[in-house]
């Protein structure tokens, strides 16, 4: 894939992932055009002032709830990375219709606009919370995944192909517990909901590189899942605030003890590769299942969960992962 010939649009382009993805793409791939699509003019202004002012970079104010605006923005676009979402679990619980309008209807609008504009590749970002969801945020991301994958049916003879990336917690992103621990440790006490809790973790850079790889390899219909390590929340707290007291405050509504990236039911149609898993649509006449030739099927009852993961971060490794946030190198 020759990125230098491509026009790329990123929904949610001013968010944590969007900015890092655009920065990396401009530095390493130098596409013909990169479009920042977001609804906040102030964040676009701040991004421009921070040095995102390359001649091949465009700023487009718009909301994924506005299909016509998306159609206009996607004119001549080859690749769409759909990162726009409401992602704060409590906010989604308190504002359910807003979460549905952005995360579900917004994804539908992205898909429809991409099909109408003749976009070649659409990649939607998802989360481990979409697997067996227990909160509205997870439920909306599950729906977004299904909308993206099954919309390959509508593509027909068109060149448009759609896929998803699903991964765990991104260190330091908005909504991450890392900034919370950084604020709390000055008081000498950090709060953890449950001492048994585990999570999948990856850095923003890892997430961005994985998305770039998946765009290059996608054929349409896949959900790509990276192989990433787990950590306990207690170890994360100890790594970030070794002198602080840990207070256990009880699990919050809509929160799981452990997260799952691949369920037992999905595992039956999943292929394992050295660096990732590829979840194939269970039954789809348009999906060729060529991935089966490149990887290995998973054993019966396989479940990729944060508490039974084979790879774990030590306290020292966690310290290295969060070091850029402690030194102020990352927003």
Give tens-digit pLDDT for 65-86.
999 999 999 999 999 999 999 9
Give me the numbers of helices (H) and strands (E) for the chain, helices first please.
13, 17
User: What mean pLDDT comes out for the span 173-179?
Assistant: 76
pTM, rounded to two decimals? 0.95
CA-CA distance, 234 to 179, in Å (whole number)? Answer: 15
- In terms of phi and psi (left: phi > 0; alpha: psi -120 to 50; beta: otherwise), the region of 12 is left
Mutual angle of helices 233-240 and 177-184, in 10-degree steps? 40
Q: Give 91's contacts (C-beta < 8 A, 6+ positions apart).
A: 99
The per-residue pLDDT for 10 is 98
Q: Give 166's contacts (C-beta < 8 A, 6+ positions apart).
A: 126, 127, 128, 130, 131, 145, 223, 224, 225, 261, 279
Q: Which CATH class is domain 3-168+201-227+260-304?
A: alpha beta
The percentage of the chain sitting over the pLDDT mark of 70, rounded to a whole number, equals 98
- The separation between CA 111 and the C-alpha centre of its own chain, rounded to angstroms, equals 17
Element holding 11 (H helix, E strand): strand 7-11
Longest Cα–Cα distance in the chain: 61
User: What mean pLDDT comes out for the span 192-216?
Assistant: 95
Ordered alpha helix ranges (H), the chain: 16-28, 41-49, 67-73, 89-94, 96-99, 106-117, 136-150, 152-155, 177-184, 204-217, 233-240, 264-267, 315-326
Active site residue 129: yes
Count of positions (residues) in the chain: 331
In 3-state terms the chain splits into helix, strand, coil percentages (rounded to 5) of 40, 20, 40
Residue of 129, 141, 227, 256 marked catalytic: 129
pLDDT band at 139 (very low <50, low <70, confident <90, very high): very high
Tokens standing for residue 312: 């774990």
User: What mean pLDDT comes out for the span 190-203?
Assistant: 93
């Amino acid at each position: 894939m020759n990125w230098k010939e491509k026009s790329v649009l990123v929904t949610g382009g001013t968010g944590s992932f969007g900015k890092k993805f655009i920065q990396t793409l401009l530095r390493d791939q130098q596409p013909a055009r990169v479009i920042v699509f977001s609804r906040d003019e102030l964040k676009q202004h701040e991004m421009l002032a921070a040095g995102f002012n390359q001649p091949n970079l465009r700023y487009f104010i718009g909301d994924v709830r506005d299909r016509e605006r998306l159609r206009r923005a996607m004119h001549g676009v080859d690749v769409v990375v759909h990162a726009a979402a409401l992602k704060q679990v409590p906010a989604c619980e308190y504002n359910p219709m807003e979460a549905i309008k952005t995360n579900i209807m917004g994804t539908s609008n992205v898909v429809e606009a991409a099909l109408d504009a003749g976009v070649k590749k659409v990649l939607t970002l998802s989360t481990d919370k979409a697997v067996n969801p227990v909160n509205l945020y997870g439920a909306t991301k599950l729906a977004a995944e299904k909308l993206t994958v099954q919309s390959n049916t509508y593509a027909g003879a068109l060149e448009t192909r759609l896929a998803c990336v699903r991964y765990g917690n991104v260190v330091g992103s908005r909504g991450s517990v890392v900034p919370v621990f950084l604020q709390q440790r000055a008081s000498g006490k950090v709060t953890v909901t449950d001492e048994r809790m585990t999570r999948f973790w990856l850095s923003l850079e890892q997430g961005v590189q994985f998305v770039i790889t998946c765009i290059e390899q996608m054929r349409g219909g896949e959900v790509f899942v990276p192989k990433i390590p787990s950590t306990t929340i207690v170890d994360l707290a100890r790594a970030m605030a070794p002198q602080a007291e840990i207070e256990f405050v009880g699990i919050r509504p809509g929160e799981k003890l452990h997260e799952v990236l691949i369920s037992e039911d999905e595992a039956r149609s999943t292929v394992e590769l050295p660096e990732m898993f590829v979840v194939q649509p269970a039954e789809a006449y348009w999906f060729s299942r060529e991935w089966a030739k490149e990887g290995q099927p998973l054993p019966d009852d396989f479940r990729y969960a944060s508490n039974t993961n084979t790879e774990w971060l030590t306290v020292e490794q966690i310290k290295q992962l969060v070091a850029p946030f402690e030194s102020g190198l990352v927003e």
